[in-house]
Structure 1
Amino acid sequence: MNPIYLYSLISMGGMGAVLAAGLGFAATKFKVEQDPRIGKVEDALPGANCGACGYAGCASFAEAVVNGEAPVGGCPVGGDKVAANIADIMGSEADSSDKVIAQLLCGGGIKETTKSGKYQGIKTCQAANAVNGGEKECQYSCLGFGDCEVICPFDAIVINENGLPQIDPEKCTGCGKCVSECPRNILLLAPVSAKNHIRCSSHNTGKIVRKSCEVGCIGCSLCAKVCPVNAIEIKDNLAVIDYDKCVNCGKCAEKCPTGSIEFNGDMIKKVEINDNCVGCTLCARACPVEAIDGELKQQHQVNQEKCIKCGLCYEACNVNAVDLFYESDLD
């Protein structure tokens, strides 16, 4: 071997060894110790890296939790169970919160809506919205090409035969990706406990709505008038529900003339207080319309004329003294 090459190899190898030793020394000398709780919190997370928590991924969220920059219950995908595990790691308590899932603010599918023409472009909601708004007359309606279905990381959305997203509440984690993806802004996150949903987003006048959709909100305000807790108001020709105020009585859905308000579940038809009542007054305090009468330590009674059948008294009672009778029980 040429001596020059040999000397070059030896010198380069020596320099590499010196530099490696220097780097090793620097890594040891200036090493920043990571809080071991970060790894534990990250392991407790679902690992979806969906960004629904507001951070780049699970690792970033875990670091933020340990640094006190994010709440232990900040992962909507993990829910209360993951929040409890993280709280245990952090030595704190987790606040129990109502899980949220995606809800569609449109009931106008292929069958219910008037067509404005035939869309020939790229079969995505984003493209259709950018060109001419798809095939439906209503410019607030679901475009039906399934961008939300494609973006969902948990396969919780399927476009049904009527051309509308069908959301599986068991699979939906409330990550919000579909909400951000929808160009019409007709998806939102709502509490899973909510039973009343307004399936319309149109701000058109009632006359225009009637021409374009059979199930659209016409802004008649009947729902707002019948709501016993003022949870609905009309904003720019559209009924809007406040989920924080709503008590799930279903009166708005019963009154809606177009069927744009949907009530999920079996509706309560009667509420009675039985002999288990100990007169603790918890039910009376929970009632939003003062429909329960009774003295302390005496059996209470439900004023059937005032009662709105919301079931809040049932949830408040801890001695099984409240009986609920549903539509199915009275059939």
Structure 2
Amino acid sequence: MSSINQSRRRLFNRKKNDAVRPPWVKLSIEFTDECTRCNKCISACETQIIVKGDGGFPEVDFKIDECTFCQECANACPENLFEDTDTTPWQVKAKIQDSCMAYQGIWCQSCKDSCDSRAISFTLAVGKAPLPQIDTEACTGCGACVAPCPSGAIIIRTA
């Protein structure tokens, strides 16, 4: 099978909600139908975590840095894509995967150290590395825990 056919197959088989859109994007719209891909939100992002994703549409890459909720992406957008910035920025939360070093018996708390909202805690256990737990009520979805994770075990997904 040609690589073009494989690329097309991946495009059409990918999950629709894989991409994390910028904060405050309206949930009531189909983002890819409304966004003109002007890249103004990408240029405005103070931590440069908004990047061109599939099809050139903006998406957030937490492997680069965290979202500071500066609102510059929403302010820069000429389209009517964003909610009022007084509302909750998005419905995404951190999730720790099985590749977490603590699950392998290695003591690591880099995610906890980087979490300003204190949404990540560790449960002590005798003879084992402490295991992480995320308080989803406290998690803002800022992604500050993603880049520091040495095993890449933290993802930010729709709650």
TM-score, normalised with respect to structure 2: 0.40
| Structure label with greater radius of gyration | 1
**More contact order relative to length (CA 8 Å, sep ≥ 6):** 2
Report the structure, 1 or 2, having the larger helix content: 1
